[in-house]
Structure 1
Amino acid sequence: MSGRRRLFRTLRARQDLIEIWEHVTADNPAAADALLDRIDDACSRLIDHPRLGPARDDIRPGLRYRIVSDYVVLYRLIDDDVEIVRVVHGRRDLFHL
């Protein structure tokens, strides 16, 4: 690996995070901020441990995931980098995203 691994979020993943924050903040703004901090921390850990999450090739080849509270962070490795693909509620049908 040359240099430090980088973390990217797809446009859809960034939209997911905004929607999650808007939904949770309607009831509890502090909880929304804390949840996004936990998601961000989990994503940041992937920089040093990219294979931390189990593979989900059954959904899409190369896809991996991490669970954060009630949410699933879907990501993939691209060369030496980590791309966050989606962040969705755990009750979502992951096969139909």
Structure 2
Amino acid sequence: MSRVRFTPEARTDLHDIWDYIARDTVDSASRFTDTIEEKCRLLGASPEMGRGRPELAPDLRSFPVGNYVIFYRPVRGGVEVVRVLSAARDIPSLF
């Protein structure tokens, strides 16, 4: 079974995404964060799915989900989710 580990920053990102979307509708916020977590599990099973992002950090990969991007590193037996950020953010400044 593949493993998905979230850094504290990634957990905070997911919480912030939920809070932002929940201002309009709690159900949509829960569905969207569930979708992100589902994609993370998929990445855990197939870490090479995402695009390599060596310009941001060694071994970093990314995978888009809607207007957000999951940033992760392949690790033994799965992935470590480093951040989950809006694609509209200044991403290089956050790495």
Q: TM-score higher than 0.5 here?
A: yes
TM-score band, normalised by shorter chain: over 0.9
3-state SS, counterpart of residue 51 of structure 1: helix
Contact kept? 2:45, 2:78, Cα under 8 Å: no
Gaps of 5+ in 2: none
User: Does 2:87 align with 1:93?
Assistant: no
The percentage of counterpart residues that share the same residue type is 35
CA distance in 2, matches of 1:17, 1:80: 23
1:65 and 2:62 correspond = yes
Number of aligned residue pairs: 94
Please state if 1:11 is matched with 2:25: no
Please tell me whether Structure 1 or Structure 2 has the larger radius of gyration of its CA atoms: 1
Distance 2:69 2:5 in 1: 16
How many angstroms apart in 2 are the aligned matches of 1:56 and 1:13? 17
Equivalent residue runs for 1:1-97 within 5 Å = 4-97=1-94
Q: Secondary structure at the match of 2:69?
A: strand
TM-score, L = length of structure 1: 0.91
Identify the range of structure 1 (76-85 vs 52-61) with the bigger mean alpha-carbon deviation: 76-85
Q: CA deviation at 1:96?
A: 0.7
Higher helix share: 2
The alpha carbon displacement at 1:61 in A equals: 1.0
3-state DSSP of counterpart to 1:91: coil
Mark the runs of 5 or more structure 1 residues left unpaired by the alignment.
none
How far residue 73 of structure 1 moved from its aligned partner, in angstroms, is 0.4
